[in-house]
Amino acid sequence: MPRILAIDYGNKRCGIAVTDPLQIIATPLDMVRSHLLIDFLKAYFLKENVECVVLGFPTDTLNRDTDSTANVKAFAKHFVKTFPEMRLIFEDEKFTSKMALQSMIAAGTTKAFRKEKGNIDKVSATIILQSYLERKSNGFG
């Protein structure tokens, strides 16, 4: 069974998470600089079978666009042009950075590890992917 990949897109860096081949568990994969993301995905898609990509979509608490929304939309447009055969799914990313930080604290990670922003990005992508997997298992994916 192919994997599902998730992206927490940011202007400078992106967190990447992926499922296991059975699409049960979401795990952090990597942090990639935004300007290198398309090249990273090209290489990853060559070596791994990926069913779809879940992209975190930023909105505020009233579901309005945020300062980051335009950049995510621009990336999504570029992604679709580059990978027309790959299904792209948007997933709400509200509060994922806060949840990522809280889960890292609960897991007992060091303060130095948590301060490294790339780690929060990877965990955020994992939370986005897990959210999608839960929706999918409930028939909404």
pLDDT tens digits, 13-48: 999 999 999 999 999 999 999 999 999 999 999 999
**CATH architecture, domain defined by 3-137:** 2-Layer Sandwich (3.30)
Rounded distance between C-alpha atoms, residue 133 and residue 33, angstroms = 25
> What tens digit of pLDDT does each residue of 57-111 get?
988 888 888 888 999 999 999 999 999 999 999 998 865 666 555 665 555 656 6
Grouping H, G, I as helix, E, B as strand and the rest as coil, residue 25 is coil
Whole-prediction pTM: 0.85
Burial (CB < 10 A; 0-12, 13-18, 19+), residue 30, is: middle
Burial (CB < 10 A; 0-12, 13-18, 19+), residue 104, is: middle
Per-residue DSSP letter, 98: H
CB 22 within 8 A of CB 3: no
Question: Residue 5 is which amino acid?
Answer: L
